[in-house]
Amino acid sequence: MIVIDSCGWIEYLADGPLADDYAPYFAIPDEIVTPSIVVYEVTKKIWRKQGKEKTVFIVAQMQQTKIIPFDHHLAVAAAEVSLLRGLPMADAIVYTTGMECGCKVVTGDRHFKDLPGVVFISEENA
Protein backbone atom coordinates (compact mmCIF):
# COMPACT_ATOMS: atom_id res chain seq x y z
CA MET A 1 0.00 0.00 0.00
CA ILE A 2 1.16 3.52 -0.82
CA VAL A 3 -0.03 7.10 -0.49
CA ILE A 4 0.44 9.29 -3.56
CA ASP A 5 0.60 12.98 -2.69
CA SER A 6 -1.38 15.58 -4.64
CA CYS A 7 1.62 16.61 -6.72
CA GLY A 8 2.02 13.00 -7.87
CA TRP A 9 -1.61 12.73 -8.92
CA ILE A 10 -1.43 16.02 -10.79
CA GLU A 11 1.90 15.18 -12.46
CA TYR A 12 0.60 11.79 -13.58
CA LEU A 13 -2.83 12.98 -14.72
CA ALA A 14 -1.41 15.98 -16.60
CA ASP A 15 1.19 13.75 -18.28
CA GLY A 16 3.91 15.98 -16.89
CA PRO A 17 7.64 15.40 -17.33
CA LEU A 18 7.71 12.96 -14.38
CA ALA A 19 4.50 11.09 -15.28
CA ASP A 20 6.44 7.97 -16.31
CA ASP A 21 8.20 7.94 -12.94
CA TYR A 22 4.83 7.99 -11.16
CA ALA A 23 3.12 5.52 -13.51
CA PRO A 24 4.19 2.31 -11.71
CA TYR A 25 2.62 3.60 -8.49
CA PHE A 26 -0.73 4.02 -10.23
CA ALA A 27 -0.72 0.53 -11.75
CA ILE A 28 -2.87 -1.08 -9.04
CA PRO A 29 -5.51 1.34 -7.68
CA ASP A 30 -6.45 -1.12 -4.90
CA GLU A 31 -3.00 -0.57 -3.40
CA ILE A 32 -3.32 3.23 -3.25
CA VAL A 33 -4.43 4.95 -0.05
CA THR A 34 -5.73 8.46 -0.74
CA PRO A 35 -6.11 10.99 2.07
CA SER A 36 -9.31 13.00 1.63
CA ILE A 37 -7.27 16.20 1.55
CA VAL A 38 -5.56 14.90 -1.62
CA VAL A 39 -8.99 14.53 -3.21
CA TYR A 40 -9.67 18.16 -2.26
CA GLU A 41 -6.34 19.49 -3.58
CA VAL A 42 -6.46 17.58 -6.87
CA THR A 43 -10.13 18.42 -7.45
CA LYS A 44 -9.54 22.12 -6.87
CA LYS A 45 -6.52 22.29 -9.16
CA ILE A 46 -8.05 20.26 -12.01
CA TRP A 47 -11.37 22.14 -11.77
CA ARG A 48 -9.59 25.50 -11.93
CA LYS A 49 -7.40 24.56 -14.90
CA GLN A 50 -9.51 22.07 -16.88
CA GLY A 51 -13.11 22.52 -15.78
CA LYS A 52 -15.75 20.56 -13.93
CA GLU A 53 -16.24 17.86 -16.57
CA LYS A 54 -12.58 16.77 -16.38
CA THR A 55 -12.77 16.93 -12.59
CA VAL A 56 -15.65 14.45 -12.45
CA PHE A 57 -13.56 11.98 -14.45
CA ILE A 58 -10.53 12.44 -12.17
CA VAL A 59 -12.57 12.05 -8.97
CA ALA A 60 -14.00 8.80 -10.36
CA GLN A 61 -10.43 7.54 -10.81
CA MET A 62 -9.54 8.55 -7.26
CA GLN A 63 -12.58 6.72 -5.90
CA GLN A 64 -11.05 3.46 -7.12
CA THR A 65 -8.46 3.89 -4.36
CA LYS A 66 -8.97 3.58 -0.60
CA ILE A 67 -10.06 7.06 0.51
CA ILE A 68 -9.11 7.88 4.11
CA PRO A 69 -11.36 10.45 5.79
CA PHE A 70 -9.89 13.22 7.92
CA ASP A 71 -11.15 12.53 11.42
CA HIS A 72 -10.29 13.83 14.89
CA HIS A 73 -7.65 11.13 15.49
CA LEU A 74 -5.85 11.99 12.27
CA ALA A 75 -6.21 15.72 13.01
CA VAL A 76 -4.42 15.42 16.35
CA ALA A 77 -1.72 13.14 14.94
CA ALA A 78 -1.15 15.45 11.95
CA ALA A 79 -0.88 18.51 14.21
CA GLU A 80 1.87 16.75 16.16
CA VAL A 81 3.67 15.74 12.96
CA SER A 82 3.38 19.29 11.65
CA LEU A 83 5.01 20.66 14.78
CA LEU A 84 7.74 18.00 14.92
CA ARG A 85 8.58 18.00 11.20
CA GLY A 86 7.78 21.60 10.26
CA LEU A 87 5.27 20.51 7.61
CA PRO A 88 2.43 22.67 6.29
CA MET A 89 -1.07 21.44 7.23
CA ALA A 90 -1.97 19.49 4.07
CA ASP A 91 1.47 17.88 3.89
CA ALA A 92 1.27 16.88 7.56
CA ILE A 93 -2.12 15.27 6.92
CA VAL A 94 -0.80 13.36 3.89
CA TYR A 95 2.36 12.23 5.68
CA THR A 96 0.50 11.24 8.85
CA THR A 97 -2.08 9.31 6.85
CA GLY A 98 0.73 7.35 5.25
CA MET A 99 2.39 6.62 8.57
CA GLU A 100 -0.90 5.67 10.26
CA CYS A 101 -1.74 3.27 7.41
CA GLY A 102 1.77 1.80 7.25
CA CYS A 103 2.32 3.17 3.75
CA LYS A 104 5.18 4.82 1.95
CA VAL A 105 4.36 8.31 0.67
CA VAL A 106 5.19 8.92 -3.00
CA THR A 107 5.74 12.58 -3.80
CA GLY A 108 7.85 15.21 -5.48
CA ASP A 109 6.98 17.90 -2.92
CA ARG A 110 10.21 19.20 -1.39
CA HIS A 111 8.57 19.46 2.06
CA PHE A 112 8.77 15.65 2.20
CA LYS A 113 12.36 15.30 1.03
CA ASP A 114 14.48 13.23 3.43
CA LEU A 115 11.54 12.20 5.64
CA PRO A 116 11.47 8.53 6.58
CA GLY A 117 8.96 6.47 4.64
CA VAL A 118 8.97 8.77 1.60
CA VAL A 119 9.69 7.86 -2.01
CA PHE A 120 10.84 11.19 -3.40
CA ILE A 121 10.46 11.64 -7.16
CA SER A 122 12.20 14.56 -8.78
CA GLU A 123 13.81 15.53 -12.05
CA GLU A 124 17.15 14.81 -10.37
CA ASN A 125 16.09 11.15 -10.08
CA ALA A 126 15.00 10.92 -13.72
Q: Crossing angle for the helix pair 36-50 and 52-62, nearest 10 degrees?
A: 150
CATH class of 2-120: alpha beta
Residues forming a β-bridge with 107: 120
* Residue of 34, 39, 42, 28 whose CA lies nearest to 3: 34
pTM of the model: 0.94
Digit-coded pLDDT (tens) for 17-43: 999 999 999 999 999 999 999 999 999
| Whole-number pLDDT of residue 123 | 78
| Whole-number pLDDT of residue 83 | 98
Domain boundaries, the chain: 2-120
